[in-house]
Every structure is written in C-alpha cells, then in structure tokens.
Structure 1
Amino acid sequence: MATSTTLKNGEQVKVNDHVYCSPSWSIRDGTPYSVARIMEFLPAEGAQPSHKGKGKEPASVYTRVRLAWYYRPSDVSDRPVADSRLLLAAIYSEICDVAQLRAKCYVVHRDKITDLAGWKKRPDRFYFNRLFDPYIKKEFEVIQSNDVRNLPTHIRDVLTLRYEYVVAEKEIVPDLTDALRNCDTCSNWCPPQETVRCDSCKSFFHMGCVQPPLIAKPTRGYGWTCGPCSRAHEQAVEGHDVRHAPLTAAKPKSHAPPARGRGRPRKDRTLAEKEESVPVRHFKMWPFRYFGLHTVAEDTLDPDDLIFPRTTTRVGSKYQAPIPVLDGPRDPDLQERGGEATVEVLSLIYGMSETQVEQRKMRLTTKQSLRSNVDWLTEVIRRFSEAFILGHDLSTVSMSNVFRYEKWKTTETRYADREWDDDEKAAFEDVVLTHGAELRAVRDEVGTRTIYEVVRYYGHWKNMKLGEENHRRRLLGSSETPPPSAHMVPFADDSDSDGSIVRTPSKAHASCGACRTRDTKVWWKAPKGLPTPVLCDSCGISWRKYADLNHLRPIREETATVKQGKVEKREGTPLTGSNTKRIKTTGSVPSTPPPQVGNGVPQHRCLACHKYGSGKVFKCKECQTRVHSGACGIVDPGSVESWICDLCQNEKTAEASLNPDCVLCARPKRDRDKKALYPPADSFLRVCKPTEGQGWVHLACAVFVPEVTFSDAKRLRIVEGISTIPTHRWSTVCSTMHLCNQVCGAVVRCSDCPAEYHVACAWSRGYKFGFEIQATKSAKREPNISVSFNGVSGTMHPIVRCKEHEGSRRLLFDICETNEFGETALQVYCNTYKQAQVAQSHALLRKARRLDHVLEEKEPELNGHGHGTITAGTDPECAHCKTSFSPFFHPLPRAGAFACHRCHFEGRTQMPLTNGHIHPHGLSHGLSS
C-alpha cells in the first residue's frame, strides 16, 4: 500500500500529514478549503492492487485517499471567531479523490506549541484544543494522554501506548488529571463518575461502599461527609468544642497544565520546526479516543472498543411514557401493539415476478426521467405491494393520482413535489446567484415553496448544472479539464487549477472585494456577498486557506512592505489588533473592510457614512437603499430584510404626495413626459421624510436647515416649520456652479466661508457634513442646551464644509458616529434640538400660528397698497403651477395673471415683481407649509 504521493504543486505528502482539500470552485460554491489529515491511500473504487511487489505498487494506482476532517468554529456555530488558525478536531473520516488535495499544512495540539503567537505568524499553521462530534452536536476537550493520572496503571499504560490524546467532557478533565484516587473502604480505584469525596477528611469513596449506599451524588453546591467525620462532628458539637474556621473559599486543586503566559513570544525557528515534526501516536489510524463520563475504563483494553464520543442514553421514564399494567381481562377488540394491523407494509417486491413487475412499471409512464426517479419508484413499489396483499392483478395499479394516504396521517400527501413552474425556477436561480446555498433566504424569496421542497429542488438543480457542464466537456473532447475561457488562466503553481483565477476583471470590478486594492499580480474569484466578484492575491489566499477576509495583509513572518514605504510589525503584536496608524491608499475606492461571509445575516454599506458595521445597516426591500438605523429614524423595524423606506411605503399607501421632489431643494429637471424623478437609490438623498403639508423633504435637508423641526424626532417624521425659513434663504443663488446655480430653494452657509448652497447640491458635490460641539459661554443671556458626545460637552451645531476647507482642524463628528449608548450624532442632535413642542399645542394649531406669523410680516405691505383686495367671486390661480391655494398671490405684469407664494420666491417668473399682493382667505400652499 502506498504511503506517500506528490501533489500538483510538487509537494510530497505521506500518511498522517495534514493537507488542504477541496473540489473545484464551482462545486464547492465559493467556500474555503477544508483541513484534513491523511489516514491512508486507497486504490480506485472496485480496483484491487496487486501484492506481488510487496507494497511497491506505483503511486498512480492509488487514486483515492481517506481523510480525517477538521472543522472551523464557524462551520459548527454562527458565532464568529477572531482566531482564523483555530480548528476543531473530529473523529469523522471520508474518502476523497487524490486530485482534491491542494497543498500541505500543519495542525498541532495547543499544548505542544511553545510560542503560539509565533506559530500563527507562519503560513499554513493551525492548532486545535477541542473536538466536535457532528452526530451528537457537542464539543469535547482534548488533552494529552500523558496528562491523565487518575487511572489504574495497566489501563493508563495501554491508553498512553496507543493514543496521543484523550477526549473528555470539560467537567471531568480535572478529575482525570488529578492524582490516583483509591476508595478509602475497599482500596480499589474510584472512577470519577462513581466517586464521592468527604468534605472533612478529603478521602474518596465508591458510592456503593458507604453505609448507607448513595444513590446519586450531592447536588451542586452541597457537600457530603463520611460516617466517622459526621460522628466526630456531632461529638464536638455536644462537647462545645466546635471552632468555626473563617469563611474563605478554598481554591480547588487542579493538576491541569498551567495557562500559557501572554508575554513577549520567543522567536526560535528551530524549536518551532521540531514541534511540527514531532511524531504522534496513532492506533488504527486515530490519535485520540473518547474517555469521559460514559466510558467504562476496562473497555479501553479491548482494541475493538468504540472510540467515538458518547452521551446519556435516552432510555427510561424521562424519555418514554410509563404505561401502567392493566388489571383484569384484556379487551379482545384492542389491537396489540406491534401487530400486523399496526404495521404499514412498504414493499413485498421480493414475492412478485420480476418480468411482470418490469413490464407493468414500463406501462405506468412514458417519461424516462420518472422511471429512474427514487420517489416515483418508491411509490410504485408501495402500490404494487398493496395490490399484492389484496390479491389484485398488478394491472389495476395506476400512478395517475399523485397523492397517497398514509396510515399515520389524517390527510393525503404527495409522494413527490409538484413541478416547478417557470416563474418559480427563475426566482430560484436569481436568489441563488445572490445568496448562494443559504436556502432559507431562497425559500423566503420564492414564497410558494416550503423549505423541504427548496432543499430537494436545490439538489436536483445542482445535479442538473453539473450534468450540463459535463456534457459540454464531452462535446469539446475533454472530460477532465474545462475549456479555457477568455477570463481564466491556470493557477500560478498548478495547485488550484479549478478555474478560480480571473485574468482580466471588468473595469467596474477591478478592485478587491475585501481590501479595495487595485494593484495585484493575481485576481481570485470572490465568494458571494462582497461588493466586487474578485479578490487580490493576499485576500484570495487568506480566504481559501484561513476563511478570513479581515486578514488584509500578505502572510509574512517579519515585515509587510507597501508602496509608500516599509512598515514593520513589532514582535509580539497581536495579529488581529487594529493598527493605530493606517497608511492611506490611493484611488477613490473606500478602504472599509468588508463583512465576514457565512456568519449569519449579510452586511451592507451605509450610504450616509459609506462604512460597514457600527450598528445595523438596513436595506430597503423595494429600492435597495442602505442606511444605518440611527441615520434614518428606524426605531422598531422588525426584520432587517423586511424594512421599506418612506418613499416606497408611500407608493403603496399614498398617504403623502406621489411627487418626491424635495421642498427645500431647487426645482429638478423633468423628463419628456414631465414625470417626477425619484432620487437615486445609491445615494443618501433617497432617504426622504414627509412634511405636514403632505410634501417631501430630503432627510439631510431637514436636519441641516436650522429652522426645520420634526413632530417625532426619534422617528424623524413629519417635517414642520418650512414656512418659518427666512426669505434670504430662498432668494440666495446656490454657489455650486456646476450643479445648480439656481435661485429657488433654501440654502445654508459654509461653516468656514461665505459660500451658500443647497444641502442636496452640497451632498452631491461631496462636501463634508457633520456635527460640531462648541463650548458653552455662560455670559450669554439666552439659555443654551448642552449635550455630551464621546467626551466632548457643549452645544451641538450642524456643519457643512466646502472641499476647499478639508484641512480644517475643527473636530467634526460624522453623521453615523455613535456614542457609548449606541446613538448616532444625528440622533443626538435631532432629539435635542429638532423636536417640535408637541406637548404644548396640536399640530394643526402650530401650523396656523406659523401662518399667522407670516401674515403679520406681510400685513404692512398689504396696507400700503391698494391692490391687495379680492373682489367677490374672484378665485386667483397661479400661472405656473396652477394652484389656487397659497398664503399670497403676487401679480404678474400680464393683466389678470398671478404667481403663488412659492413660485414667486423660487424665481420662476424671471420678471420684476409689482407692488401689489393678493391675499386670499384659502388654505396655505401644500408644499410651502
């Protein structure tokens, strides 16, 4: 039998070496490599190697390999683990093709590593200290067999001779590593699960050796004393000789290996090489066996004893219903359990004629796919068996009815899933492209299928795709390697020739999906869920080997060299720690690290701060807008994936205007049909809030225009106070010459220069938005509301800064920057300064008071001219927007023509205004309230 082989990259591996194993990229669906240990090499299935050469057969005869798998913690739990080098061992093996072996790696137990930090610095190094059993879904501790002391000598010798490690429950490890325990009564060894300890004399006893025998151990928190100690205590109490010791909790003694220090690691390459080459004892190809609570120590001597972890048996009154014994004669009509009437016969095919069965089966359907379908054949055999029992001819069996009646169910069920229609297939494939093998998300998107149907169809669909791929290979005359593509090249070192290298990515996706770099020698295919479908060389290797996308630097032992200079890592620096000084990368692509793939819910980048994380980022189910909950007023959203923004919600409910134009911005350009243009979904300007007049305002405009308030500042809903904005804000020309240069709309001023511009124009131009906290001066008479945010106290002010002042040293808090309570700066500012006085008045009353304030300001103009009266029966109408509701109508030079208050201040007339004003007694303009 072969003991070694050569991989595609030229590395020589032998039995008990650790390797990366993985099928091709398309089959493994973007998942990283698996780590495994080679147990043995096997010939092709059905082939028997010759023994003439006494084990000298060529390595090409052995095309398969038996592997013992290791798991990553993320494979067995949804909780992410920061250490990408930590693995979980398993007593689970599988046979794979030798061609799936990628490269060699090293896996060592934690206790055998002297310098763990130095070990993790080196490439392809892993370690483990626990074992996961995939059948009982439980983790166990792994300790060295030499550390087990509480065993009889003959059992311990056999255990240490055969196995390197012992697998046990965490609570039993201190008992196993303690000194040998013998019963104080019978002087025999005390197994931990059958031992009780006296709290006074600290002696050990079998629970059956004490009088009276103990049925169970004392409950946690309680102690037990033996008979002599109990009598001595009673005599001391009667003689008043009891001296109570001070209540000091004694630290339990443990013989477990001491914890490793966290000092500066030693750098000893020779010692590290010795540690990874130390031979490990194996017995029947396994280096460990289970020796825990549910093990009989003497069974260890049996070489055929099962080594797998065990758990408590589910037999007894706790798991089975106790049935009382029936008194008196038994009811003859009561069926006996386990009789023929309670058994459902699934198949009696062995008693029928093979020719008759095959002929009848061919007549049941003309579809060749059904004749080899497992579900269809199972139901055919069951119906044949029913007819055979009843004595009917097999010609009476029909498969026209897709439902079957099961004896243990009250309703009929289908023996096979119904056919998927074209819409369901299209929806399924679209969602699979987005979510991959996350079939719960696929089930939610398809909507018409259960999770069981989705799982079954996914298997058939995957098999169909593989069949189509193999068919294309056969047509091209190559059944081993796929045809070359315009975007694919072989792997540089021939260790991963599975089509996972991208030669020339498109210009739109020419940046790494993890670190955002654009400069790399090799582009790798990226897993699903990243901004771009490619990864750079270091991130691609890091993902495949270590399943870590936050590993944003090449794996090197000493230094990391970058374009701008040379950066050195001081020895002992944690690998997962964040760098205080980050080297600025060139290019316009942001360098925010991406989310981890495969750990539950997908993360998105917020359009307000352009960052991941720091709170939940919600994505609109309709328009795909992404924003932090604290930057959008989301208080009780429910599911992250079911959130709908205000504009999309309004399209269904029509509670506000269907015109999404912002009241505070310049009039946007229309298309040919003069339809309203919705803000783009990839901009924060898509986030809009309704006004009290059923109009719409950009959330950024409502926050950064000082006079505007909210009826509910927590939810950022119902914008008020637009009519109180001073006239000079509406009549100033926007200074963003290349974007706007219009007079209409309300403007704000730059914090560092006299320039004024619309908030939306500044946002689109990339100006700096944030909040500044200024120190409060007690000399001012007017009261100031102070806030404290991240250690800075004072009054908070919204700041918009031009690009010309990017070098300013004034401290600005970003919109989505959070404090210790998880509140964003935008939330703190709006809750403190933007909340309307809703407790003092009703919304309609506040609106009326603002309108009265506007009328009082315009009253001198009305009294000073003779044109302000409306004759009976007149109903003015704006010549531009055709509205008849406005606080004021301004006459135009053309006789009988008027402009509403909004059109007048937005400058749509482009004519000198006359002195006359018309003030109707109607309602205020719907968009200027």
Structure 2
Amino acid sequence: MSEDVPVYLKNGDLVKVNDHVYCSPSWDARDGTPYSVGRIMQFLPPADAPKGEEGKNYVYTRVRLAWYYRPSDVSDRPVADSRLLLAAIYSEVCDINQLRAKCHVVHRDKISDLSGWKKRPDRFYFNRLFDPYIKKEFEVIPARDVRNLPDNIREVLISRYEYVVAEKEIIPDLTDHMRLCDNCQGWCPSPDTVQCDRCKRYFHMRCVQPPLLAKPTRGYGWTCAPCSRRHEEEVDSHDVRHTVSAGPKALKSNAPPARGRGRPRKDKSLAEKEENFPVKHFKLWPFRYFGQHTVAEDTLDEEDLIFPRAATRQGPKYQATVPPAPDPYNYPPDIEERGGDSTVEVLGVINSLTDAEVAEVESCKKSLTRDSVVASSVDWLTEVIRRFSDAALAARPFTSVNMKSGMRQEKWKKSETAYTDKAFGHEEVVAFEDAIALHGPELRAARDEVHHRSMPEIVRFYGHWKNTKLKEENKRLRTKGPPPKPVNRQYVNEAERSGGLHVGLSDDEGSIVAQPSKSPSCGACRTRESTTWWKAPKGLPTNILCDNCGTNWRKYADLNVRPVREESVPTTKSKAIEKREGTPLAGPSSKRARTSASVQSTPPPAPSAAPQVKCLACSKQGPLGKVLRCKQCQFRAHAGSVGAIVDPTSVESWTCELCENEETLEASINHDCLLCPRAGSEERRIKPWPPADTLLRACKPTEGQGWTHILCAVFSPELTFTDASRLRLVEGLSTITRHRWTTKCCLCGEVEGAVVKCNDCSKEFHISCAWKQGHKFGFEIQPVKSSRRDTTITTTFKGESGCMNAIVSCKEHDRSKRDIYDICETNEGGETALQVYCQAYKQAPSNAHGLLRKARRLDNILNIRNGAETNGSVASTPDPGNPDPECSRCKSQFSPAFYRIDSSSVSPSWLCHRCHFETNEMNGKAMGMMVS
C-alpha cells in the first residue's frame, strides 16, 4: 500500500509507524482479559498479496506490533502501579482491525513529573525489559549514558539506538568513565579487566606479569606489583599505623543522579514535549542488548543479534560425566555392545530382496486382509513389513506369514504388545478435541483430559486426527472448490488514497451491556449508578462493571475490588434507609476499607487463580484444592466426597489411597471391593485397576486390611467408619445379614457380593452396579416428630433439619417432587452432603477400642448361633472321635472356639476362631458351626 495513505482508527485517531496503541480482539474471543499494549512497527498487506512493488498497492489488513508486558503477566508479584510496563524485543503480526485506540509509552528517564504523567489517561512508562525466551528481566538505560566504551563503538551505538539493555549489575561498569589499562593504555572491557585494590587502577589480565588466569575469588582483592612492594616495605620498616577506618568511601560514578522527591513544577508544554519525544530506531527497534555476554566490537556489525543472551550451558554443572570406555583388549564378555547386529531390531529388509521376491511379498500381502481401510493403515503396513522381513531372515516361505494375531513380541520387552492402539471412543474423541481447542497442540494437556490413555497413544492419535481433518478439507476442496478471495484483498482506490483507511474496533464493540438487571451493581466498586455498563471478567460477584471500572480494567488491568456486604439488603423501601446507591447501609462513613485486592494493580479473576478440575462424582468443575486430582492415576473428585483433608500447599502432589497403598503396602494389594462381585481377569488388565475414570476408584481400607468402595461403605446401613471425618477404616462387614449375601443382583445377575434394596421398589442390586447404570444416589432429610427427637439422630443441611437418609433409587422412578441432595452438594460451610451424613450417622462409637468393638460384634454373632444350637439345628459338641480339633489353615490346636467348615465328610475340617473371622470378613459370609 502506498506510504502516503493515512490510517485512522474508529475513534478518529490518526496512527502511524512507532505509535503506541491498544490491541485486542472482541470481548468473547479474548475471554475478558485486558487490552494489550504495543508499538506499531509496520503496516502490512494481506498474506497472499504479491511481493514487491505490486503488493504496496493493496489495502493494509495486518500490522506488526512490538509488545509490552504488564508485570502481572510475567510474575505473581503484586504491583501497585497500573501504568508500569515491561518492554520486550518480541513482535507479532495481528489483524489491523484489532487496534482499539492510541496510547503513550515513554521511558522513565524521559518523564520529569511521574505523578502528573500517571494522572493523565492512556499514559504508560517502562524502565525494564522482559525477555520471553529466557524468562529474565533486564535494565533499560539511555544509550548516551554508556561511557565506558571506545569512541568509535560509542558513536555507532548512540547513532543507532535510543536505549541499551543490560543486566543490573553491569550498569555501574557501563556508566563509568572509560577505563584504560595502566600498562598498554588500551580499553579495558569488564570481563578481561582486573582492578588494583589499593591504587584503583585497571589492568588487562594478560598485561600483568605473570598473567592472571582468573579473577580473584569473591571476597578477596588483588594488588598490583608496585602496591604490593610498597606494602611490604611499610611492614618491614614498622611504620605502619593501624587506624580505624571511617567506612568505605562511595565510589565516584558518572551514572545519572538519583531523582529528588521534591514536587516538580507543572509545565504543560514540557508534558506535551515528553509525549512526542523523538526516539531513534534501527531496523524497527529502539534498543539492543549490551550486557555481560556481549562483545563490544560486534556492535559495529549491522547484522549482529540484538536479543538478550544468557551464559553458555557448558561445564560440570550442565554436562554429564561419561565414564571412560572399557579396555578394548580386556573387553568383558558379558557386556553386549550397543550398535551391533545383536542389538538392532530389524524393521524391514524389503529393499534387499529381489524383484521376484518383492512380487511374491505383494501377492501374499493382498491375501492377508480384504478390508481396504485396514490395508491402508500405517500401523498394519508397518507390522506386515516387519513380519515379512522376519520370514526372509529366517528363510521361511512368505506364505507362512499371517496377521491373525494382533500382538507382537518386541526385542526389548518381556511381554507381547499390540502393534495398533485401541480405537478411541466417542467420549474420548470429544474430550481430546475439546483439549486441542482449549490448549492447542499441547498434548500433555490433552493427555490430562483423556487420562487413561498413555502419552504415546495420544501422540499417535493426534497424527491420525490431523490426517483425518486434512482429508475432510481436501474432500471439501475437490467438491466445492477453493474458498473465494477475501473482500479486503483489493487495490487502493482514489477515495481511500485521499481520505485515508479507517480500521480498528471501537471500545464498546461486544462489551457494553445494553439492558442490565433491574438493580445493577458493579462487580468491583459495588456502585449502582453508571451511564454505561460493561461486561465484567469472570470471578467477580456480578457480571457487569460500571463505566469507570470497565475502562480501568480494559486499559490498565486495574480493579479496585470492593468486598460484598454480609448483611442482606431489605426489599422494602423506607425513608429510614434511603441513602445514595452504592454506599453501605450500615455505618455513616462513605469511605470503604482498603483491602488486599485494592493493593494489586491487576487482580486476576477468581477462576484463573487455580486450574478447574472436573469431579467424577457430580461432573462439575471446581478449583484445584476443592476438587483433588491424583498425580499418579489422574483420579478426580471433590475432597469432601472422598474424605481427604489436604494442606493447600500440597494439593498438586495429592495421591489417592490406592496409589498411596502401592508405596506403603499398609493394606492388601488386591483392590477388589469386598461388597461387590470379584473382577474378572480381563478387567484386571486395565491399568490402573480400578479405572480412574469413575468414582469407583475411590476406595477405603477395612479393619481387616481389605478394601471397599466409598459408595458401598456409605450406602450400606450396617457399616461404620473409625474416623468419619476422613472415612478411614470401614467396620462391620461381618454384621451384614446372610440374605444380602445370597441374593442375586437384578443388574449383573451375580450372586456374589452384598446387595441393597431400592428405596422406591423391591429391586435389589449391588451398589457398584447401580452407580454404573446411572441410578440416583443422594441424601434425603425427613422431618422427625417431637416425640421421637430424643431417640433419633437429627442433623441440619442447607437450612433443613431432620433425619438424613441415604437414598439409592432406580433411574426410572420419578423424584421430581422430592428434595434429594447430591453427594457433592455443599452447604454454607463448604461441607458436602456425604460429609454431613457420615459424621452424623457413620461414626463408630468412640467409647471403646476398635478391637473391642470388633469383639462385641463377634460376640453378638456367637450368641445368635448358640441360640440356634440349643434349638437343635446345629450340633453343639465336636466329633467324639476327634475331641481336640486342629485348624486346617494355621494348624493350631489352641483356640477359644473351633468352626466346622466341612460337615458332610466323616472327618470334618475345622477353623480356629482367628482364621474363621478373618475369612468371614474377607468373604462377608458366616461359615460353619462353632465348637467350644
């Protein structure tokens, strides 16, 4: 486009190269983040415009911007100054329609009245630079302040650049007088210079006799030869008088003097001059790096890189220590040398076959499958080539190769592995595409969403997914042709050349709320009066901002957040409480208390303070800490639904109890629930088992070191917890009735395990089966009569008091007229319904030890059986031929009671008291007949 065509923004501002502007897409596209600040480097035509002179006649559609960062963008340190920016040697090409308005960004040293500068709108300043590649901040000083340089280098530096970027510790050396070597009178750069600690003169380390190989260690000084000789003569003459030093004198420096704190004189003409201060730019940049890792002579080269640099990664701190190679004459025979024929896995030898053998391979390959999709699969073709190659190396006929087995034995693995991945399901594909849309090609973030897939599977599926999208795009191009050329790809007409090009978005584009609620309230300052209401970022009490707060957030990323009043606002209007809207109802003072949020210049919205994690129990998202995620198996659930109490500083390192048990081995390594049917061999192959994509991964140990699902323990009325607050140690499995162990589940058809009955019908099923089928789990509060309040445990949840019952109901029942609280539903104190129920009804009695409680439960079982024995149903004495029975498990002959486990045989088998009840708790069934 011709250089004489001016560019105007929507608000009428004329912008040109090196002007500073706000840049941002629409409100929904940027998700409520503030405007970005950048400097216009150049205006660009469309990306598909022809190169050369012809491309200059096209309309500007893009702009290259040099970005500035806000301090809150690069660190979590609170910064009270919302006008402070960080420069960067980093640029991007953006759509020209994303420009919003002009602003002014000036170096700190160019501003005489900083307080007055910050009071004016759209004014920013900077004094440091942030490099986004090495994540480090540098000082920015005017190029004229650099004096410790040869004249030719300093003149070139000043003529090209306005500012110099360097490390903070290098600034005093750069701004000092030019340092010359006392021997050769040559310039002394800082890395190769040593200073005498007495005479303060500088020397090249190579000019010293003998030459210095390294500078003195920190804390030590160096003296030149004349000073050392003079010191020795003084010591030998005993004329040295040790005086008390008055303290080190401040070194003289030519650095700019410190700014005074006096109030400067307000000069309007000076302020306007500072806004339009001319800045030198060399190849579109006003500054370059000139720090400790720069060779000063490289500045003369126009093509020298201007970006900040860091120390080289060399030396023992960064390099691996490689042991010496073994002696070639005494090579150990048991070591297999890498790179030999025995360590190389041959993937294909087709290129070494003759034409006749290749033709035979092709004919055999066509007979392996008739599916065209499989025949074109990369994984299938790779495995076919490998198997044909193995046959060629083993001199087997190619007709012996078949693809019936989907597994293969790799050279470096002990077990067989599948050569193709398991197909992704619909839910997995949806989760993967959502992760790609949210995080881009960050496959580790995608793996967190599809957590039961390994990282190699995610990478391979990403390649197939991209090819599928490309195939769909190519198919669309073949059927419908290429897309039409954009409308803005056109030549400049005479009207545009004379009147200018109008581009950019206005401030109110997609951000103004035309019709707020009847009683609008600003989410930051809580005011209720405003001429314009703006959309608010997420995490504030309301979704709108007043005109002042909305502008401050968009331009300066500044919100003076005001806390919400705890007292409720009356609904009736009376003269006694009529006050100006936006002021507190209690207290006459109109001043609001200064909170910690007002100290920060850019308080981030609440949702962005912690990553959002989806709970597997309620399928709702919450911040990390409220919803926990296991760092090993990626299991996710609300902390209150799994009985986890985690320190806020260690929420990212939390592990579920099953993963923790793999390290501690405090309970059984068999993770099957004792109340559910045992898993088959195919299910056990799933890693991890139980799978981490369901709430059935949440298990708790029992008092016999077994495991039960939290759902099974909570919704089984006989079971209790030793510690209900943490849901630890499930007790009472032996008290479950025999009927529940022997009843067939109506969902899975298995007799094994304990069933529960539906609260609304007569169906009986396993709790885990009901959860998998989507049955309703929750808690219902029923009112208690006054006559029964003394004997019934009551609790309060969300303002409703009564007896809380655990509900498991089939999914076909209508529960619309009942108030059933979900498992993860919380009250005002943040406790879940499951927590409240367990603390009220699932806590084991604390007046006795756990072992004593277990003994009492067993005594009740013994009393029941003794009563049955007296009725003649079971024999009460042992076999007369075997008066001293022996435990068939532990071979013990000493026990308070023996139990017969095989009463049909002539010589029955027995279990001692301890072995019998360990088996009873693990199986959940009372077996045999007691003999005492």
Q: Is the 8 A contact 1:80 1:599 kept in 2?
A: no
Structure 2 CA distance for partners of 1:366 and 1:178, relative to 1, 3 Å: farther
Cα offsets for 1:660-692 (capped at 9, x unmatched): 844899965999879899998353496999999
Q: Is the 8 A contact 1:436 1:528 kept in 2?
A: no
In the TM superposition, what are the counterparts of 1:574-723 in structure 2 within 5 Å? 582-583=590-591, 596-597=604-605, 601-602=609-610, 619=626, 636=647, 639=650, 654-655=720-721, 661-662=794-795, 668=802, 681=826, 683-684=828-829, 695=840
Q: Does 1:310 align with 2:309?
A: yes
Q: How many angstroms apart in 1 are the aligned matches of 2:65 and 2:77? A: 26
Q: How many angstroms apart in 2 are the aligned matches of 1:112 and 1:302? A: 29
Match of 1:162 among 136, 156, 160: 160
SS in 2 for 1:544: helix
Q: How many angstroms apart in 2 are the aligned matches of 1:364 and 1:133? A: 57
Shift of 1:151: 0.4
In the TM superposition, what are the counterparts of 1:250-289 in structure 2 within 5 Å? 250-264=249-263, 266-289=265-288
Q: How many angstroms apart in 2 are the aligned matches of 1:349 and 1:69? A: 54
Q: How many angstroms apart in 1 are the aligned matches of 2:80 and 2:350? A: 56
Q: How many angstroms apart in 1 are the aligned matches of 2:556 and 2:437? A: 24
Paired residues in the alignment total: 630
SS in 1 for 2:207: coil
Partner of 1:249: 248
Partner of 1:291: 290
SS in 1 for 2:241: coil
Cα offsets for 1:497-548 (capped at 9, x unmatched): 763444335679x544333444444444433333444433333332332233
Match of 2:30 among 28, 31, 35: 28
Q: How many angstroms apart in 2 are the aligned matches of 1:25 and 1:38? A: 22
Q: Does 1:495 align with 2:506?
A: yes
Partner of 1:6: 8
Structure 2 CA distance for partners of 1:691 and 1:154, relative to 1, 3 Å: closer
Q: When the two structures are superposed, what TM-score results if normalisation uses the length of structure 1?
A: 0.53
Match of 1:226 among 221, 224, 227: 224
Q: How many angstroms apart in 1 are the aligned matches of 2:85 and 2:431? A: 37
Structure 2 CA distance for partners of 1:408 and 1:327, relative to 1, 3 Å: closer
Partner of 1:550: 560
Partner of 2:538: 528
Q: Does 1:41 align with 2:43?
A: yes
In the TM superposition, what are the counterparts of 1:118-197 in structure 2 within 5 Å? 118-197=116-195
Partner of 2:201: 203
Shift of 1:417: 8.6
Match of 1:538 among 524, 542, 548: 548
Q: How many angstroms apart in 2 are the aligned matches of 1:583 and 1:599? A: 29
- Flag structure 2 segments of 5+ consecutive residues without an equivalent: 353-358, 360-364, 394-398, 489-502, 564-578, 613-622, 629-635, 657-709, 726-778, 782-792, 805-814, 850-932
Q: Is the 8 A contact 2:66 2:92 kept in 1?
A: yes
Q: How many angstroms apart in 2 are the aligned matches of 1:347 and 1:19? A: 59
SS in 2 for 1:255: coil
Shift of 1:401: 11
SS in 2 for 1:61: coil
Cα offsets for 1:790-824 (capped at 9, x unmatched): xxxxxxxxxxxxxxxxxxxxxxxxxxxxxxxxxxx
Amino acid at match of 1:24: S
Q: When the two structures are superposed, what TM-score results if normalisation uses the length of structure 2?
A: 0.53
Could you say what the CA RMSD is over the residues aligned between the two structures, in angstroms?
A: 6.6
Cα offsets for 1:333-387 (capped at 9, x unmatched): 9999999999999999999xxxx9xxx99x999789x99xxxx989989999999
Partner of 1:816: none
Match of 1:64 among 62, 65, 78: 62
Q: How many angstroms apart in 1 are the aligned matches of 2:402 and 2:534? A: 54
Q: How many angstroms apart in 2 are the aligned matches of 1:61 and 1:236? A: 81
Q: How many angstroms apart in 1 are the aligned matches of 2:830 and 2:151? A: 76
Shift of 1:267: 3.7
Q: How many angstroms apart in 1 are the aligned matches of 2:405 and 2:99? A: 48
Q: Percent of aligned pairs with the same residue?
A: 54
SS in 2 for 1:235: helix
Amino acid at match of 2:77: R
Q: How many angstroms apart in 1 are the aligned matches of 2:525 and 2:550? A: 11
Partner of 2:114: 116
- Larger displacement relative to structure 2 (202-211 or 378-387): 378-387
In the TM superposition, what are the counterparts of 1:373-392 in structure 2 within 5 Å? none
In the TM superposition, what are the counterparts of 1:691-840 in structure 2 within 5 Å? 695=840
Q: Does 1:514 align with 2:524?
A: yes
Shift of 1:222: 1.6
Q: Is the 8 A contact 1:620 1:643 kept in 2?
A: no
Q: How many angstroms apart in 2 are the aligned matches of 1:331 and 1:287? A: 64
Q: How many angstroms apart in 1 are the aligned matches of 2:802 and 2:450? A: 38
Shift of 1:231: 1.4
Amino acid at match of 1:527: P
Structure 2 CA distance for partners of 1:522 and 1:196, relative to 1, 3 Å: same
Amino acid at match of 1:66: R
SS in 1 for 2:609: coil
Shift of 1:455: 11
Cα offsets for 1:754-807 (capped at 9, x unmatched): xxxxxxxxxxxxxxxxxxxxxxxxxxxxxxxxxxxxxxxxxxxxxxxxxxxxxx
Identify which of structures 1 and 2 has the higher relative contact order when contacts are C-alpha pairs closer than 8 Å and 6+ apart. Answer: 2
Shift of 1:181: 0.4
Q: How many angstroms apart in 2 are the aligned matches of 1:378 and 1:267? A: 75
- Flag structure 1 segments of 5+ consecutive residues without an equivalent: 482-491, 554-562, 568-579, 605-615, 627-632, 698-716, 720-841, 846-929
Shift of 1:16: 0.9
Q: Is the 8 A contact 1:90 1:133 kept in 2?
A: yes
Shift of 1:91: 1.4
Q: Is the 8 A contact 2:16 2:40 kept in 1?
A: yes
Q: How many angstroms apart in 1 are the aligned matches of 2:94 and 2:224? A: 57
Q: How many angstroms apart in 1 are the aligned matches of 2:839 and 2:36? A: 57
Q: How many angstroms apart in 2 are the aligned matches of 1:402 and 1:12? A: 68
Q: Is the 8 A contact 2:525 2:562 kept in 1?
A: yes
Partner of 1:217: 215
Q: How many angstroms apart in 1 are the aligned matches of 2:508 and 2:407? A: 48
Amino acid at match of 1:211: Q
Structure 2 CA distance for partners of 1:198 and 1:480, relative to 1, 3 Å: same
Q: How many angstroms apart in 2 are the aligned matches of 1:436 and 1:532? A: 30
Q: How many angstroms apart in 2 are the aligned matches of 1:429 and 1:421? A: 12
Structure 2 CA distance for partners of 1:29 and 1:662, relative to 1, 3 Å: same
Q: Is the 8 A contact 1:5 1:13 kept in 2?
A: yes
Q: How many angstroms apart in 1 are the aligned matches of 2:649 and 2:410? A: 40
Q: Is the 8 A contact 2:347 2:385 kept in 1?
A: no
Partner of 1:300: 299
SS in 2 for 1:154: helix
Structure 2 CA distance for partners of 1:207 and 1:399, relative to 1, 3 Å: farther
Structure 2 CA distance for partners of 1:687 and 1:335, relative to 1, 3 Å: closer
Partner of 1:103: 101
